Structure 1
Amino acid sequence: MALYSQSTRNVDLSKSETELTTNIRKATSIEETAPKRKHVRACIVYTWDHKSSQSFWNGIKVQPIQADEVQTFKALITVHKVLQEGHPIALKEAQQHVAWLESLSRGLGGMGGEGMRGYSPLISEYIFYLISKLRFHRDHPEFNGTFEYEEYISLKSINDPNEGYETISDLMNLQDQIDSFQKLIFAHFRNGSNNECRISALVPLVQESYGIYKFATSMLRAMHTTLGDDEALSPLRGRYDAQHYRLVRFYYECSNLRYLTSLITVPKLPQDPPSLLDDEAAPSLPTRPKNEPVTKPITPPPRPRETADPEPINEFWKNEQARQQEEYAAEQARLQAQWEEAQRQQQAAALQAQRDFEEQQRLQAEQQRLQLEQLQRQQYSQQTQGRMAELEQENLNARAQYERDQLMLQQYDLKVRALEGEISQLNANFQQQSQSKDDQIRALQEQVNTWRMKYEALAKLYSQLRREHLELLQKFKGVQLKAASAQEAIDQREKLQRELKTKNLELADMIRERDRALHDKDRTTGGHRDELEKLKRELRMALERAENADRAKGSELSGMLSRHNREIADLEEALRKKTRALDDVQSKFGEGSSDLERQLREKEEELEVYKSGMDQTLLELNELRSNGHVNDSAMDEQIDVMLLDNIRKINDIIDSVLQSGVQRVDDALYELDSSMQAGNQNASGPYVLSQIEKAQSSAMEFSTAFNNFIADGPNSTHGEVIRTVHTFSNAIADVLSNTKGLTRFASDEKKGDQLISATRRSASSTVDFFRGIMSYRLDGLEDLQKTDVVINKNNEVQIALNNLSKLADAFAPKATKISNASGDLGELVDREMGNAAKAIEAATERLTKLMNKPRDSYSTYELKIHDSILEAAIAVTNAIAQLIKAATASQQEIVQQGRGSSMSKTQFYKKNNRWTEGLISAAKAVARSTNTLIETADGVISGRKSPEQLIVASNDVAASTAQLVAASRVKASFMSKSQERLEECSKAVTGACRSLVRQVQKIIEGKRKEGEEDVDYGTLSGHDFKVRQMEQQVEILQLENSLSAARHRLGEMRKISYQDED
């Protein structure tokens, strides 16, 4: 029966191999898809059916898989699946075909890089892995294709731990190769395609990696349980943990591939590797199975020879057996012939397949050669055309570059000429400044020499007076000693007292003259060179010490003199009393001369006592003078300490004031850059120019005050510096606010940005000015260097403000520019202010005429409306008249205070030409807006104009009066009464304009209510209500569009009218 089954399988062998060849060809097709599972399954089943894989290897070798990268890759996938799931004999037979697999890798050398379709690196890595897998199975034949070894799980004994250690190490090496290969596959995924062919290679990798993981886990647990040596197994544990984490990531990425999850179930591992030490159920370290003894095939015993003379009873069975033998031999011969025929057909089919393959290879090579030649021709043509296009493009680029270079050269020439002009101008200015500084230095040097001569003369005079004073004191003492009587002592005392008072007065005058000379000398020599400053400081400190010593000695001397004078006065009083008593006695009595003589002797004795007291006092005075020199050094040190503390406190105060100025300018800069702040919307060109002029003068005033503060040294006062810092920072803040408001007149966005940039640079220069002159930055510099720093910083601010003034000058009306005007500017300003006053008077007269105009044609309601409008307009004109008077008074006060005694009104106006332009522009604006208001009021009353026009005219009046007040505020002094009066008048004008607007709005509201339809929307149907609602929305949208267009036109008209204002 077994022979019959074997013969049946031989009969179907040709058909099976044909089907196998067909399945291999379909599994390794050229399409970039995964090998069909049924085709690969057929190859696997063939190995199990025939218990051989030689036909599979023969069939796959004859396929043209090396002609295409995809075919090669799919063939490797098929081989991998057969090795993994085929008959175990396939792993042994595959060892003979390792050279063929290596030849596939060498065949990739002509592809280069990634290959035509990106599979070249994948094929090389796949072949390397398959060879490593076959090498492992050669060394460890006990493992199947998926690395499952069930005997290791059940074994409990151990023969050689080193063998188990090597087995796990080899498996982990193979696991590392799987990880490297799968990363390469993921890295070669392409966007825009399904990557099905690449993903199919991950299926056997997932299965084998999980088999290796399970075996390694069981094996390591068994080794830990058996050996108990954790340190010896620590390298394997480290590799096991690392591979666990890589497998977790690998399986996670595989689970995100929908095609892969549709083929297999991706394992799920815990995030952390399992414990290999605490598993009590871990099996013992297994041993490799022993080689089974090879059993020889059992051969049937030889048939015994038949006897020549068989028994008759067996003759029938003998004949029957011979017949069956013959039939069996015939059947075997027939089957052998069929098998040989099948072998010949198979060989013929193989030869035919080989010839077909060679012919196909030749045709493919010829086709590839033709395609390569055509591709080369196309590439050559494309390269030629591309080169021509590149040459044309390079020609055009060169021509354009030449034109740009020519234009750039012209621009550079213009810039060079402009820079040369600026350099020449700067050189001229520098020479002029140097000449003026040299002249100033020479003049100051002469003044220093003059004051030095005066000081030397005063010093000589002072020493002479001091010497004379000492001589007089000596004479006074000698006279006192020589005085023989009270009368002589009194006369001498009076004489000495008069001389002492005279000398004291002269000494006080000299001291005052000396102080004045020192003060003037300190002020004039404040900005000189280092040597003069050093000499001045030493001289001043020496004089201060001398002055302090003289003052102390003078106070001591005056105290002693006052004490002596009191004693002399007491003596004189006593002498007068005694003399009167003596006269009384002599007049009453003619005798008693002895008593008188006795009393006279007593008085003389008392006088001698007083004289001795005087001598003792003079000796004490001399001792005090000698001791005064010892105390001078201690007093000088105390004075120096007090001076340094005072200077430090003053510097701290100045730094805090400068920081407050920086903060003020920074706040203004924030408002300049803030989109929520629109600036002063009433600012005009002349007003901004006047603000810039004020900032420039404030900067100069601050620089002068600070230089004086530096020059005066310890004797300086800081009140002026604080005041000028406050004025300067506020002026810059006003410039920023008003300049931002001025940008509304810019014709385009570029001009507005230029104006804002120039304003920002001015503010930044101011901040740098304040920060650059703080005490910690000026420490270590001489006074002349400090003065140079202040001058340079001020020059930077002046340059920035001049640039801003040039840009803002373009926004000033042409008619109000008077910088080049001829004639008396004072008369021009007075005339404009007078014209404004006359316009107000004319407006008032016209309103009075309108009030007295006949009203017979008006109804009572219209009369009421007209009266309310005229009354409000008259209130506005009266307030404006008061405003003009207050503005005239404020302007006269400003001119009187600003020009001083050496400057005429015309010179003052020319010096402050920006402010003058703003004042004239504001006066004209007031007159013009007032006339417009009266004309509009007349038109509203007569019905020629609408009430809305009257509101616009009233707002224009309020804006023009605000401009006039702002122009006056620029030059007004602090706490000026006339300016306060002007501000009150401005508030009155604003209130009157608001009252007029309220009256007109009431009129408009009344007309609106009269013109509205009384519609009951509740009675409308749903469709009618929706139609009405849509109509209202359309009307609102149309009105908004019209309003936006009207505002745009008004803005453009204002820009043009403002620039061409006359």
Structure 2
Amino acid sequence: MASLSLPRVLNPRKTSLEIERENFEKTQAQALQKAINSNETPVKQKHVRSAIIGTFHTQSAKIFWAYALRLPAMDDRIVAWKLCHVVHKVLREGHPLCLVDSQRHKNDLDEIGKLWGHLKEGYGKMIRLYTTLLIYKLDFHRRNPRFPGHLGVTAEELESIAGNDINNYFQMTVEMFDYLDHVLDLQEAVFGSLNMARSNSMTMAGQCRLAPLIACIQDASKLYDYCVKIMFKLHMTLPPDILSGHRERFLKQFRVLKKFYESTSNLQYFKDLIAIPPLPENPPNFLIMGDFRTYVTQEVIVPQEPEHEEEPIVEGNLIDTTEEAPVHDTYNETMLIAAQEELIKEREFLRSQCEKFRHEINAVMRKNEKDVTKLRDKIGHLETELATKESELIQERQVKEDLLSQSFAVAQSQDSEQKVKNEKFDKLKELYVKLRNEHIQKIREKAEVEKKLSGALQTIQQLSELEKENDRLVEEEKQKYAELSALQKDKELFNMETEILKKSVMDACREKDNLKSEVATLLQEKEDIKKSSEELSYKLLDIERQLDRAQRDMQNQLKEMVIKCVESSENILKHAIEEVDNPALTALTCSPDYLRSLTNGCKESLHESTNVSSTNYSDIVTVANRLAHRHATYILQGRATCNTSPDISFGEKVAEACKVLGKIVLKLLSSLKRGENVEELAKEAKEKLEELATLADGISASLLGENAETLADMLDNEMSAMDKAIEEAANRIQDMLTRSRAADSGIKLEVNEKILDSCTTLMQAIRLLVQKSKFLQAEIVAQGRGSASTKEFYKRNHQWADGFISAAKAVAVAAKFLLSAADKVVINNGKLEQLVAAAQEIAASTAQLVVASRVKADRNSVNLQQLTQASKGVTTATGTVVATVKDCSELIDESEELDVSNLSLHQAKRLEMDSQVRVLELEKELEQERYRLAKLRKHHYQLAGENET
């Protein structure tokens, strides 16, 4: 005999079944961990589906509960909430025996609910209500085992469950009302915990709270339907007065349930997850039997996610719709024969599976019957033993009462005759020995009993010991009762499991009959398909002829539609041409610059018209619409521009040119409608647009008058004045620095040197900016004037020139203000804040100068890039000035720090009050100064606007 190696003995190989079971349990654990985590997001359905499939694989929920109870539901409220959701889904959609296995875990759910129930709001309240709902659901199915987890039963099954007994209907209605109350309480808590700021239906936190309501809606829909049907049955049999309480409770739940459905339907989160049928406006009237005939059961629909399965054979694949009829008929017959053979094989397989299931179920039924017989025998034995124990207990109690009465008699007659006392003692001794012999297994043994009693006190002590022993027997009796109740609960669970298995057998038989009927139906459909294939071929040819005719009609309709659209565009343009002569437009004005800005849009539409194909109807309509609207706007704005001309005859000339342009575009639209070439007309329209732009420039020049001639001189003067002001400011700062070094010392000299050096750096940056601005200005004038003179360039671009002049003035004023502020600071007569304001004003003024230069500059210009770099240098220098002022302010504050070491209490309090008064005064002055600054800025903007106009 070959010997086994030591590693193989210590670590035997696992069988394939063990490996498969371990992999399955690992997969289940991973699915539950992914489904039930601490993230405040809704549970993913694919993980829940894995757990549900696992219950069918093991035909129980033991593995599910084994891993579910390991999750930290006691430590994390999100985990507890998701655990309740997953348990609800498993009870509804899992294997039927999940309801039996979950009965043992009601206490676990109750403990979770009690723990989190201490949190009165939010998840704590919701978890407590959810665990209460799940516990009641388990109790409901324990009392009514023929109801499946999803509560779906037919009308016949509902009657069978109630046994057609009115008392059962009455009790079942009460249980369903209680069930529905728990559902409505939970949904009210969920909606009450939502808020618009953090938790709503469009956030993950809100969806985490709302997700379990889908299962609640499914339960509530079934319960409402059964309540309505049972209530009508009750009213058919019992007087209305007896059922008044039922009606009031139903009406209350109807209103809350209707509000629940409306609130859920209005949320975007539930739109694609569940279809909720609305409840009627008024509840059913149970006193009118006609309402029962009009009542319709409405099902809640939850869309199922598509699964990757093989597609079944459908009728469309069996229909031949091509011209090669013989070949495809043969192919269809082959497909039908193959489908028939496959269905026969599948039927045989299902039949063998049914036989296998029948044998398994019979074996389970026989085993269950044996177990039931054993349990009944055991219950009978326990009941007999219990009756014996009860009789013994009664006898023992009687003996105890006799002993107590005799002991009291002995105690009262202790001083009486000794002979009577001894006789009573002997009787007590005999009774006690008899009691010990009868209950030798239940009474503690004693070695010997004292032969004599010294007095009544010793007798009472012995009686108390007997009473304690009697209490122990009572406790044992209670334990017996507990064991008996546990056996009764196991019997109920067994009965419940038996009912579920019976229902599974009935469903399997029903499914078998359905498969037989489906096979017969498919055979009949095969014959029908053969007959209808030829008819469909003829119908297809007829449909193709109709389709060709419909396409021709559609083409004609499209042409007519295009013609109407182009004609509509022509009417728009004609209306604009007619409006040119409308006297009401004489009050309308438009600037020549705005009219020129409209030219590019019109040219673009003309260019698009030359690229349109005569067969592309959508492009024709689009281009015609754009041509009409843009040129109509241009013509009307041209007429408004004419009203600004001081020369009336010149204005009339411009208006006539607008009308000519409109007529040219009308001809272009007409050619476009007929599909002709429009390049010549588009070129003519572009030339007319250029002519109108030139006339508009003439109006602009006439509006400028004499000021246009002096724009170039004004700009040169302002640029020179700005350069001179900057130069003077730089020289003055150097002079102030020299005087300060000669006159000041210490902190004063250090402050002045830092401030004046930063101001010198700023003035150098401004000087460089002005220099680069001049270079860019010269480049702009050289590129823009063409063959015209510089004055003509400024005349055409007078608005830009005015802006440049305004920017130069602002820079010069800001430089003077900086110089004045620095001078006051140096002579110790100014404030450091004035320097900050002056530096920031210079930065704003130079920014205006840069913007004015950048408007007409080429984006790739080197001078523009240098000007931008110089602008950044001014910004940096301004920041340096501000930072230097702040440092100097801190330096001065440190040198002037208040010495409070020698102050008395009264002096310190007085200085504190003076400081508070000064703070209030400064706050008031700051508010007044801000108001004054706002008014000055407003006035400055008004003056700037008047100067530009």
The answer to whether the superposition gives a TM-score over 0.5 is no
For normalisation by structure 2, the TM-score amounts to 0.30
Kindly name which structure, 1 or 2, has the bigger radius of gyration based on alpha carbons: 1
Q: Which has the higher contact order (CA 8 A, sep 6+)?
A: 1
